[in-house]
Amino acid sequence: MKLHQPGSYVGGVALILFGGWLAATELGAPLMGFDKLWPLILMLIGITLLAQNSGQSSSGSGIILVGITLLLSGLFLSIFTLNLGNLTWQSLNSYWPIFLFIVGVAFLFVYLRDGSRRQSLLLPAYLIGGAGLLLLPVTLKLLQSTGFRQAMRLWPLFLILITSVAIVTLRNRSHDVHLDTE
């Protein structure tokens, strides 16, 4: 029985490239330093996990979730290590909600990879990803009006509303499943 494991090929190629980079830097080649390239490790681990999952017939939801999250987080952190758009590590204080958005996108990928069968994956995709999108203008200080600041003081009511909707939705689904089994 031949096992097909594309993740090990991707990981192997990544290690060969990393070894070549280490050898070249030791020989004095003017390459970018590790301080700029470390997010590549996150991206390569994410790509390896996704490649490994692509060769499996089962969905591997956890592997996809972690793989997408690592890949996108590595891409996002590369912006800061490479100072793209003049963004520095200090800028991350304002852009951190993008991590929430990345997790929401990862849940959406799992939902799509699973053939859109598990609707329960949409709840964290919308809540976590949506929270990231809603918080980003706040952390970037794009919304500074007095009315907005007053509304932001009521954020616990939004949390209560979202939690209540989730509980009612899950209860209704549980009740529907119970009726179907009778």
Give per-residue pLDDT as tens, 92-146: 888 899 999 999 999 898 888 877 777 778 888 888 888 888 888 888 887 766 6
Q: Where are the domains of the chain?
A: 6-142
On the question of pLDDT at 91 being above 70, the answer is yes
On the question of pLDDT at 50 being above 80, the answer is yes
Greater confidence (177 vs 134) lies with 134
Longest Cα separation, the chain: 73
Question: In this prediction, what percent of the chain has a pLDDT beyond 70?
Answer: 79
pLDDT at 70: 93
Mean pLDDT of the chain: 79
Question: In this prediction, what percent of the chain has a pLDDT beyond 90?
Answer: 10
pLDDT at 119: 78
Interval 14-23 mean pLDDT: 77
pLDDT at 1: 43
